[in-house]
Structure 1
Amino acid sequence: YETKPIAKALEEYPDLPKVAYVYQLQSQGLLHDTYVYGVDVKRIIPTILFPTEVMDGAIVSGNCVSACDKNTTYVHLNNPVIERLYARHGKDINFVGAIITNENVTLADKERSSDFTAKLAEYMGLEGAIITEEGFGNPDTDLIMNCKKLEQKGIKTVLLTDEYAGRDGASQSLADADPKADAVVTAGNANEVVVLPPMKKIIGKVDVAGIIAGGSQKSLREDGSLEIELQAITGSTSEIGFTLMSAATY
């Protein structure tokens, strides 16, 4: 894999649309943290990274969000969005790089970060962007802000997220929305209930399934099986697509 300096990258395939990856990193605090070259992402403003830097370990996970949403360091190292964009580079897109941004909790922080993300996207001359988030609820606002501000600059966006649509799938999937977010890929409904069969060998204490996000006091069945939401399974609805699961609306 190779990412050239921006000036050269923009010239390399002049007839192909210039596309970048907008990479939202968890930074809500209280063990919802991510580090870039050792710096807490809460402390950064959005910046440009070579995607190969991500592959080399620039991003390290330090968070314990709901298990289904968690991007481990291994997942960052092997980010499938980056790999797919590289696979299409020079064929139907010109993949010019990545913009990393945070998911801080105050409105002022969100406005500043999304403004800066849109400014960088415009500076890079982008025509399209893939935007991913980590977590749900509060970070949905960052996702929609980034989408809206890029679209307002004429940059087409595709969002990759998961859903919290209730166990019946009938509730609003995201905590925020906008008409400009009209191209969305879902990694599944985190509230969907599954039954995990009993295991002969268990490492750790199985009774914690009753108190973790996605579990309940009724999760542990008499036969040793677990009835839980996907939310309780690490990476099950990965918002960077490190999964084979999705969901569709008919």
Structure 2
Amino acid sequence: MKLELGKIFIHDVQFAERTYVENGTLYVCRQEIISLVLEDDRLVSADVDLAKPGESVRIAPVKDVIEPRVKVEGDGGLFPGIINKVRQVGAGRTHALVGAAVVTSGRIVGFQEGIIDMSGEAAKYTPFSRTNNVCVIFRAKEGIDAHEHETAGRLAGLKVAAYIGEAARELTPDEIVTYETKPYLEQIAEYPDLPKVGYIHMLQSQGLLHDTYYYGVDAKKFIPTFMYPTEIMDGAIVSGNCVAPCDKVTTFHHLNNPVIEDLYKQHGKDLNFIGVILTNENVFLADKERCSDMVGKLVEFLGLDGVIITEEGYGNPDTDLMMNCRKATAAGAKVVLITDEFPGRDGKSQSLADAVPEADTVVSCGQGNLIIHFPPMDKVIGTLEFVETMIGGYEGSLKPDGSIDAELQIIIASTIANGYNHLAARTY
């Protein structure tokens, strides 16, 4: 399966009477976006604002971040099973507005939405302080069920990203990158002397607003399966969860998964990138055992020499992570884990809720319990009403002048456990 990703680089975003791209600037029509969002009768009001790198702007609470894209060649459409019909994606050509993002915000659904600062000390911890953000702020009708609220907000962001992405359809990309994974036997034959490496991609799927969607299906409803990496890069997986903001895998991160990107860069040189084993994170022990058994079986069946494993969330999912590690090792693969840590504010507690002897090679994306200071911003997009009840916040976090003291985990993607962030840890 071969995917061409055409990148159109965006350096600025502005409002205009229509939506288009010119000379690296994305122009968006505010009223058309509002009208699109309000097609959903579960939402009673909507607004659009812009947030650019370096501005004195705080966005809160953030629900999802999506990169605008459009499928220009090949089967299927963007986000199949959700805003387009169910068709396999991952082949053909897709155009992306790189440097732009749609950020959804509004009154809180759960308690695990987060914050993006566009400047100041806290800005350096999130990759989205560097994107030109089209912020969609929505309000759901009173009394709506929390799951319906989440669904309406999720669809609003995806529809707006697809709408903006259409501006890239007829453009000539600034850069085209080609990614290809061949059918298994062909892939093995092409690089017979290189180690066969796979990626075990764990999706948050524990329910109670901790959900991810695979071709429109709630991830808790499928069993571990194999995916071409390009399917993920082409919108087959969508975030729908309210997991802790620091390690929330937004839809943007699924489209731009750095593990997949880096494995492709080494493919045919140092390793043979076979593909992705997709699995979920379960609540009950029996389900954890069942799914991790199947992950181990797929590792063995594919004859993988090495795997990288990433998780989403922390605490309960750490057990899924360790089970997958232990069983992939037993199947004959060398295993590298990528995760973040939560050792308490004093740094003295165990960083992960579970551990096994096989977990002897770990890449850390930082720890989320560090207290940092957020200076006041000139402008807030959304509301600060819920800061003290968000993960990482606490009573007294929000100061009268609009500044905040909170744990690092309140920032979107600050310690995200696939490495698309700006933190790391080293052992000396």
Q: TM-score, normalised by structure 1?
A: 0.98
**Matched pairs, number:** 250
- Aligned position for 2:325: 147
CA contact (8 A) 2:247 2:413 kept: yes
Instruction: Summarize the alignment of residues 97-176 of structure 1 with structure 2, pairs less than 5 Å apart.
Output: 97-176=275-354
Is 1:210 aligned with 2:388? yes
- Aligned position for 1:200: 378
Highest CA radius of gyration, 1 or 2?
2
**Candidates 19, 23, 42, aligned match of 2:220:** 42
**Candidates 410, 413, 418, aligned match of 1:232:** 410
- Shift, 1:207, TM fit: 3.4
CA contact (8 A) 1:36 1:58 kept: yes
Instruction: Kindly provide the amino acid, as one letter, of the partner of residue 417 in structure 2.
Output: E
**Is there any run of 5+ residues in structure 2 with no aligned partner, and where?**
1-178
CA contact (8 A) 1:27 1:42 kept: yes
CA contact (8 A) 2:297 2:331 kept: no
Is 1:33 aligned with 2:172? no
**Candidates 9, 24, 30, aligned match of 2:187:** 9
Point out 4+ residue stretches in structure 1 off by more than 6 angstroms. Answer: none
Cα distance in 1, alignment partners of residues 385 and 218 from structure 2 = 33
Is 1:183 aligned with 2:361? yes
Matched-pair identity in %: 62
Higher strand proportion (structure 1 or 2): 2
- Shift, 1:54, TM fit: 0.3
- Shift, 1:249, TM fit: 4.2
Cα distance in 2, alignment partners of residues 78 and 230 from structure 1 = 23
Instruction: Kindly provide the amino acid, as one letter, of the partner of residue 102 in structure 1.
Output: N
Instruction: Kindly provide the amino acid, as one letter, of the partner of residue 180 in structure 1.
Output: E
Q: TM-score, normalised by structure 2?
A: 0.58
Instruction: Kindly provide the amino acid, as one letter, of the partner of residue 219 in structure 1.
Output: S
Instruction: Summarize the alignment of residues 17-96 of structure 1 with structure 2, pairs less than 5 Å apart.
Output: 17-96=195-274
Instruction: Kindly provide the amino acid, as one letter, of the partner of residue 153 in structure 1.
Output: A
Deviations 1:199-239 (A, max 9, x none): 00012222311111100112112432111111111111111
Deviations 1:20-64 (A, max 9, x none): 000000000011001111111111110000000001111011100
Deviations 1:72-106 (A, max 9, x none): 11110100000000000011111010000000101
State the superposition RMSD in angstroms. Answer: 1.0
CA contact (8 A) 1:207 1:220 kept: no
